[in-house]
Structure 1
Amino acid sequence: MKVGLYFGSFNPIHIGHLVIANHLAEHSDLDQVWFVVTPHNPFKKKNSLLDNYQRFEMVYRATKDYVKLKPSDIEFNLPQPNYTINTLVHLEEKHPDFEFCLIMGEDNLKHFHKWKNADVILENYHIYVYPRISEDAIESQFEDHPKVHKVDAPIMEISSTFIRNAIKAGKNVQPLLSKPVWDYLDEMNFYR
Structure 2
Amino acid sequence: MKKVGIIGGTFDPPHFGHLLIAQEVLEQCSLDEVWFMPSHIPPHKQRDDLTSDEERKEMVQRAIHDNEQFRLCDIELKRNGPSYTIDTIKLLKKEHPNIRFYFIIGGDMIDYLPKWVGIKELIEMITFIGVKRPGYPSQSPYKGKVVEVNVPQLDISSSFIRNRVAQRKNIRYMLPEPVRLFLMERGLYAKKQGVRNR
1:5 paired residue number: 6
The worse-fitting range, judged by mean Cα deviation, of 65-74 and 123-132 is 123-132
Three-state SS of the structure 2 residue aligned to 1:33 is strand
Three-state SS of the structure 1 residue aligned to 2:44 is coil
1:66 paired residue number: 67
* Structure 2 contact 133–150 (Cα < 8 Å) conserved: no
1:189 paired residue number: 187
Letter of the structure 2 residue corresponding to residue 106 of structure 1: G
CA RMSD, Structure 1 to Structure 2 (Å): 1.3
TM-score of the pair, normalised by structure 2 = 0.91
Q: 5 Å matches for 1:31-180?
A: 31-134=32-135, 136-142=136-142, 145-180=143-178
Letter of the structure 1 residue corresponding to residue 56 of structure 2: R
Shift of residue 97, structure 1, vs aligned partner: 1.0
- Equivalent-residue separation in structure 2 for 1:43 and 1:164 (angstroms): 19
- Equivalent-residue separation in structure 1 for 2:180 and 2:80 (angstroms): 31
> Structure 1 segments of 4 or more deviating over 3 A?
none
Structure 2 residue runs of 5 or longer lacking an equivalent are 191-198
Three-state SS of the structure 2 residue aligned to 1:184 is helix
- Equivalent-residue separation in structure 1 for 2:79 and 2:30 (angstroms): 29
* Structure 1 contact 10–37 (Cα < 8 Å) conserved: yes
Letter of the structure 1 residue corresponding to residue 185 of structure 2: E
Shift of residue 140, structure 1, vs aligned partner: 4.6
Letter of the structure 2 residue corresponding to residue 139 of structure 1: Q
- Equivalent-residue separation in structure 1 for 2:112 and 2:178 (angstroms): 33
Three-state SS of the structure 1 residue aligned to 2:156 is coil
2:194 paired residue number: none
TM-score of the pair, normalised by structure 1 = 0.94
Three-state SS of the structure 2 residue aligned to 1:76 is coil
- Equivalent-residue separation in structure 1 for 2:123 and 2:170 (angstroms): 41
Structure 1 residue runs of 5 or longer lacking an equivalent are none
- Equivalent-residue separation in structure 2 for 1:56 and 1:45 (angstroms): 19
2:16 is the counterpart of 1:21: no
The worse-fitting range, judged by mean Cα deviation, of 108-117 and 51-60 is 108-117
2:196 paired residue number: none
Letter of the structure 2 residue corresponding to residue 46 of structure 1: R
How many residue pairs get matched? 189
- Equivalent-residue separation in structure 2 for 1:124 and 1:41 (angstroms): 21
Instruction: State percent identity of aligned pairs.
Output: 35
